[in-house]
Amino acid sequence: MTAEHSQHAPSVSPVPLTLDGSAILHQMFRIRWSAWKAVPAAEQQSVVEEASSVLTAMEQPATHQSALFSQLGHKGDLMLVHFRPTFDELNAAELRIAQLKLLEFLEPTTSYLSTVELGLYEASVRLYTALHEQGLQPYTPEWDQATEAELERQRAVMAARISPAIPARRYVCFYPMDKKRGEVQNWYQVPIAARQKMMREHGMIGRRYAGRVNQIISGSVGFDDWEWGVDLFADDPLVFKQLVYEMRFDEASALYALFGTFYLGLRIPAAELGTLLSGTLPAFPTA
């Protein structure tokens, strides 16, 4: 820990508050091309029409939205991303997909479960410092009441970010990540004020890319194998490389970040699924 890290505001709780929103499921599949090509044209058309109809309905924002992507590379061929208000509704979407005839020609390669998460480091440090100065002990009724009041205020301000639509961008980059808990560097043993400072600097890099990329952070502690999932949406895929590369030089990433597998996909309108399955990449309409 640096000397700078030891100089922090009174911290009676090391745990920052978070806002949790939409439940998210990423599903990746490999197309069984040999089996698909062996199917008669009439049967292919029936399979495509059923899947396109279901996925087109799921694309609509009124259903809290799903999106279809064509994956690049050996990790899979199709990626489905589902945003839903609850895990029950997320499971219903997954089960609906499982009933499609198309699934007979798809092999699951991986999946990822998470929920939209907004970290409240700035608000947490302000609140904890104020409560400490008032002489309140953590997790007393007065403490809990003040904490819930702050969360309610933040929920009202952040409502649109808690339940976002899937950005209408051509490309998606998804990857999971952790913060280190190793013998030398352990994110969870750094004082909260120091973590706040690092996350503020980390966030400032992302703000410089506003308008070029949409970023959605989701928490997966207790849900999946990593701690967070990151979705980046953009019309130019090079922005993913530029953003992630630049962020790796800030302190939060350089010292504490562990990155999982990266997945890159191109957005495909569900109505164009048949075009994709014929071996042609459909265009994605732009605004």
Quote the longest CA-to-CA distance of the chain. Answer: 75
Closest CA to 26 of 99, 101, 100, 84: 84
Question: Residue 9 carries which DSSP code?
Answer: -
C-alpha radius of gyration, the chain, whole number: 22
Helices 192-207 and 121-133, axial angle in degrees (round to 10): 150
User: What's the rounded Cα separation, in Å, for the pair 215 and 173?
Assistant: 10
Residue type at 78 in one-letter notation? L
User: What's the rounded Cα separation, in Å, for the pair 278 and 49?
Assistant: 13
User: What's the rounded Cα separation, in Å, for the pair 129 and 123?
Assistant: 10
User: What's the rounded Cα separation, in Å, for the pair 43 and 175?
Assistant: 36
Residue 67, token pair as written in the block: 């999106």
User: What's the rounded Cα separation, in Å, for the pair 29 and 71?
Assistant: 9
The residue length of the chain stands at 287
Q: Which regions of 85-193 does DSSP assign to beta strands (E)?
A: 106-120, 171-179
Residues with catalytic roles: 175
Q: Are 244 and 213 in contact (CB under 8 A)?
A: no
Q: Are 83 and 95 in contact (CB under 8 A)?
A: no
